[in-house]
Amino acid sequence: MVVRQGLARWYQALFSPGVQAGILEPADLAAYRNDQVLIRGALHVPVSTDALRECMLALPELLEAESEPSVRAVPRYFMFVYIHPYLDGNGRLGRFLMNLMLASAGYVCTVIPVEQRNEYVNALEQASSFGNSEPFAHFIADLAIAQSTAPLPSPQ
């Protein structure tokens, strides 16, 4: 699948400007994280570095096992963010992956507006820390439906 082949390239493409700006080191983009990370303000602790590689090997298999993109996109996005394979940018790359899956099946790309960030973070925390994925699934589904009928305005 395209994710298995593209993930590292997409991560490097999205975050190489940080290397050029001197914010990141080139090694930061070379591989998965080597240390445990904590997510500021969240109860969820991403998988340990010992489990990280195995989880990332299983993720493409799970993506390929589900044929319906609308079913595949949201849970697999959540799984990617739950694993948290990189030091930074997991949410951005996860949303990119979700939209890649949605767009490849003809669904609208779904943007999480900054005004709804708190609702998004709370729904994600419910899923990550308490195993309650329903608020997160509803949040993304409601945004997708709303944005398919009334797209967000283009940035000025």
Taking only the tens place, the pLDDT of each residue in 55-64 is: 999 988 887 8
Helix, strand, coil % over all residues of the chain, rounded to 5: 65, 0, 35
HSE-up of residue 47 (Cα within 13 Å, Cβ side): 18
Q: Please, what are the domains in the chain? A: 2-149 (1.10.3290.10)
Which residues are marked as active site? 84
Which contacts of 141-146 are long-range, i.e. CB under 8 A and separated by 24 or more positions?
A: 141/74, 143/110, 143/111, 143/112, 143/116, 144/102, 144/107, 144/108, 144/110
82-132 tens-digit pLDDT: 999 998 889 899 999 888 888 888 888 899 999 999 999 999 999 999 999
Angle of helix 69-83 relative to helix 117-130, nearest 10 degrees? Answer: 80
Whole-structure pTM value: 0.84
Task: Give percent of the chain with pLDDT exceeding 70.
Answer: 97
